[in-house]
Amino acid sequence: MSLTPDRPAVTSDLRFHPTTALIGADVTGIDLRQELDAETVARLRHALLKYKVLFFRDQAIDDDQQIRFTRYFGAVTPAHPVTNGLEDHPEIKVNKLFGGIQEYPAFRLDVDHPLRPVSRSRKGRGWHTDITFVANPAAITILRGVEIPSYGGDTVWADLEALYDGLSAPLKGFLDGLHAIHVRDDAANGLPRPPRYDGRAPGPFASLHPLVRVHPETGRKALFLSTGFVKAIDGLQPSESAALLDYLNEELSGHADYQVRFRWAPNSIAVWDNRSTSHFGPVDGPHLKEQRIVHRTTVGGDLPIGPDGFVARPLVGELFNTIS
């Protein structure tokens, strides 16, 4: 007898196939068009903690089914704290890239925008953890390939726990007590965002986070790096802060052994633990010749806690809410 969307799918064939020796796994033996039973959800959640990124192929689901799948991991947020989601599906953020034209123009000082603030560029600037400019960033992200170029458009993830583990003991001890300022202010960069459908302010946002966060479920430590959003380390001199962040970001971008790369296809899905990973994608975005469209949903997160007991707090702007 065939399964119906209303009947939980018992997925006895569910399998996880490690993608690298450290991070990532391909998932087979599951049909996300169907509802999932409690045992399957528990296995997926356990695998996500273990592998940090899960990859699904040939999952022809729609927006409603993506939102339902997201709910298995927790309460769903709006699409984004700054930009609107779809009017009929406010949980869905549509990321579009047309022939190399990025969704977010570069925040660059030029003769047409001479008053934009200048931020020092850093190696690996494309690496980020989602939405860290709020004090409670999303815990888990789900990204679905809708329209994918015939080649290019890959995403890369890095294991932030492995990155922390690879540092020397004296440096770990120093980093464990540091706190970083994460900021996003589109209006200050000359790109004010339109009003949000839900009436919440589209920014500015700033938060103070531990530089090392303790995973709320596993207790493991991870470097809490989000290159584009981390502006300074609290308490350090500007030159000290810049030098330390440059070093850490070079470690993040330079360790291929801590990374996994995913080749997208239509109906592919990636699910990642935003508390233990950083990602960069599409890695060749400016060079793409074809359209790339992906739909994103996120699960609400908590306030990150550092090894010293410091709890992240907002400096400017609201916490990130959940809606379904």
Look at residue 9 and tell me if it is in a domain: no
Contacts of 67 (CB under 8 A, 6+ apart): 76, 89, 91, 92, 297, 324
The answer to whether 78 and 323 are in contact (CB under 8 A) is yes
The low-confidence residues of the chain, meaning pLDDT below 70, are: 1-12, 99-108, 113, 116-125
For residue 269, the enclosing domain spans 15-316
d(CA 26, CA 14): 11
Look at residue 197 and tell me if it is in a domain: yes
DSSP 21-82: SSS-EEEES--TTS-B-HHHHHHHHHHHHHHSEEEE-S----HHHHHHHHHTTSPBPPS-SS
The answer to whether 141 and 76 are in contact (CB under 8 A) is no
Is 279 annotated in the active site? yes
Look at residue 323 and tell me if it is in a domain: no
Look at residue 8 and tell me if it is in a domain: no
The answer to whether 291 and 149 are in contact (CB under 8 A) is yes
CA angle centred on 135, ends 251 and 92, rounded to 5°: 90
Place of tokens 């997208």: 264
Look at residue 7 and tell me if it is in a domain: no
- Determine the pLDDT at residue 112: 75
Is 296 annotated in the active site? yes
- Determine the pLDDT at residue 190: 75
Look at residue 259 and tell me if it is in a domain: yes
Please count the CA atoms within 13 angstroms of the CA of 2 that sit on its side-chain side: 4
Closest C-alpha to 207, from 187, 188, 226: 226
Which of the residues 184, 196, 209, 296 is marked catalytic? 296
**Number of domain units in the chain:** 1
Is 13 annotated in the active site? no
CATH code for the domain in which residue 194 is found: 3.60.130.10
Look at residue 322 and tell me if it is in a domain: no
Which of the residues 63, 130, 185, 273 is marked catalytic? 130
Which of the residues 179, 182, 209, 279 is marked catalytic? 279
Look at residue 321 and tell me if it is in a domain: no
- Determine the pLDDT at residue 118: 61
Is 209 annotated in the active site? no
Which of the residues 68, 80, 128, 184 is marked catalytic? 128
